[in-house]
Amino acid sequence: MRIPRLLLFSLAVTPCLDAAPAAPAAAPDPAHVWDLTLLYKDQAAFDAAKAKLTADLPKLKDFQGRLGKDAATLRQAMELLTDLQGQYFRLGSYAAQASDENLRDAAAMERSQEIDMLASELSNAASFVNPELLAVGEQTITRFLAHEPGLAVYRFPIMDTLRNAPHTLGAEAESVLSSSSAITDTPSSLYGVLANADLPWPTIKLADGTEARLDQAGYTRWRSAANRADRQAVFEAFWGKMKEYERTFGVALFSQVKTDWFNARVRKYPSSLAAALSGNNVPESVYRTLLAQTNANLPTLHRYFKLRGRMLGVSDLRYWDIYPPMVQLEKKFPYELSKQLTLAAVQPLGADYIAGITESMEGRYTHVYPRPGKRSGAYSSGSVHDAHPYVLLNHNDDYESLSTLAHEWGHGMHSVLANRAQPAPLANYSIFTAEIASTCNEALLLDHMLKIAKDDDERLFYLGSALEGLRGTFFRQAMFAEFELRIHEEVEKGNALSGDALTKIYGEILRRYHGDAEGVLKIDELVTVEWAYIPHFYRNFYVFQYATSIAASQAFAAKILAHEPGAVDTYLGLLKAGGSDYPYELVKKAGVDLATPAPYQALVQRMNTIMDQIEAILAKRGK
């Protein structure tokens, strides 16, 4: 069976590259820092657990060649594998989160790296399982499942292994491929070091005299500057520097795409896309329907850009005009207020959900504020079946921070519900469903904020924020997905990809999405190297799931807010299902078929409805 990786969910719109402003040196309030002693009471306990997993790994070999002996032996092997995975998830969660508290802590980073190596060892030790299950055969395994009740919880993952028979190699080859994972992440590592450490980022002076260092975090911060000339200067300096390293970034991404194609061919898949979707058994029609519907509805995206230009007072819209808010809101959202608003927003999900999220946010499970050295961005970690999920934030007392809180504890509550309802082998859910839980909470938050808004200025701000969220999570991620498909198809045809070639492909797609030819938004040549900035391209057809998820979540939220009978139970049932079935099937059973145009058309209609509301307010003001 597959060894799932530690589940760390980043923000849907922005990768974990956001600037974490300098924090005061004073010790944080313990209530605002997660308590990792709930995982291991101290370093000695962690070390002992690591030693135990290392000692337990060889026990798997005792079952090699014996999985077909009888049902009891197969059950014992599955129980051991599940136990080893559970040990790894707990170790991995602790090590990663302890390191993220302070990325300057070399010892903590080394612990996290050691656990990553241990994951490779676990994968290698278990590499015989899939080939051997296939050798035992479906007929024998079906008989074992019928006669051994203890195997019931393993039915789905075992049958999933049999489904992958055409793409599973012999035990020796599987062992070699498992071992190769230690080197196949080299393109991603190269990107990370170059983009986050070695690149000599420029510093520019803004109109107010501020010295702005434009590393990735600085770019994220200053790209939304209120002064348009500052934004243009930020873009020209940042993308100019990225362009200087276009060749090196090109080598890294070309190597990643070649790695993906190598793995697909070795496992006898017709394409890299087919190989990537096979793991969760997602129909290729989902991916292609998403791209088709996104392109069919580009006029709605172009309408949004025109509205943005109108509200910003900009007639010649450029790429550096995308990020500043269309309306300024001088209102703070301190953490305690953000918790209260989140709780109020999710009231439609019922008493049990409210109780669970209240307990989660009041417990020591959230690392709230920015600190020197702390990882930027936000995520939820909920893969430890017998422990409570944790959430990392960088709360800045603004509306985005409030939205992030609701988003990440949407993930957290997904884990709470799945872990309670499902046994360990069936609890961990796919990214395909994960972003539904988070973005549904965001939709509920928007509805609540519009209801309590004091005036049209507030409403415009919330509506504008929602529009940008839908643009960034649906259209932008679909654009990335289209680029990803294009470059993989080029390699599959035997074509090489230089940095310049990648820029040309990305530039064509970028201009089409932003209506350059139609005069909607001018794409300057300097920003067409943006592909080099996106870390998700090193995760093998990952980003499309943000777009499909937000389409699904908007459908669920609409039914919940309309008080449709059974809507809440159906939605919570999806969350409770965890990984007990293929994610596409789980969403389809809940009433949303992502292989059809309907959910994407509904999302686009929601964007148009929001724009109708904004334009009605502007018309009332004579604008």
Per residue, what are the HEC states of 291-321? HHHHHHCHHHHHHHHHHHHHHHCCCCCEHHH
Q: CB of 305 within 8 A of CB of 520? A: yes
Structure tokens at 47: 């070390």
Rounded to whole angstroms, the Cα distance separating 578 from 66 reads: 30
Q: CB of 560 within 8 A of CB of 444? A: yes
408 catalytically annotated: yes
Of the candidates 40, 49, 41, the residue with the CA atom closest to the CA atom of residue 83: 49
CB-based burial label for 585 (10 Å; 0-12, 13-18, 19+):
middle
- What's the gap between Cα 329 and its chain centre? 28
Rounded to whole angstroms, the Cα distance separating 409 from 415 reads: 9
Q: In terms of C-beta distances under 8 Å and separation of at least 24 residues, what long-range contacts does 308-314 make, across chains too?
A: 309/521, 310/618, 310/623, 311/460, 311/464, 311/614, 311/618, 314/228
Rounded to whole angstroms, the Cα distance separating 111 from 99 reads: 8
Q: Taking the C-alpha atoms of 399, 402, 404 and 409 in order, what is their torsion angle to the nearest 10 degrees?
A: -170
Of the candidates 459, 21, 13, 436, the residue with the CA atom closest to the CA atom of residue 218: 21
Q: Do the strands 379-381 and 203-205 form a parallel or antiparallel pair, or are they unpaired?
A: unpaired
Instruction: Say which residue the tokens 């992030």 belong to.
Output: 404
Structure tokens at 407: 């988003």
Neighbouring CB atoms inside 10 A of 455's CB total: 7
Give DSSP secondary structure letters for 406-427.
Answer: HHHHHHHHHHHHHHHHS-HHHH
The angle formed by the CA atoms of residues 232, 237 and 241, to the nearest 5 degrees, is 145
Give DSSP secondary structure letters for 72-97.
Answer: HHHHHHHHHHHHHHHHHHHHHHHHHH
Give DSSP secondary structure letters for 100-157.
Answer: HH-TT-HHHHHHHHHHHHHHHHHHHHTTTHHHHHHHH-HHHHHHHHHH-GGGGGGHHH
Angle between helices 598-620 and 284-296 (to 10 degrees): 30
Structure tokens at 216: 């990735």
Rounded to whole angstroms, the Cα distance separating 304 from 341 reads: 28
Of the candidates 176, 234, 160, the residue with the CA atom closest to the CA atom of residue 201: 234
Rounded to whole angstroms, the Cα distance separating 297 from 598 reads: 12
Rounded to whole angstroms, the Cα distance separating 484 from 541 reads: 7
Catalytic residue among 174, 246, 408, 484: 408
Rounded to whole angstroms, the Cα distance separating 526 from 235 reads: 8
What residues are annotated to the active site?
Answer: 408
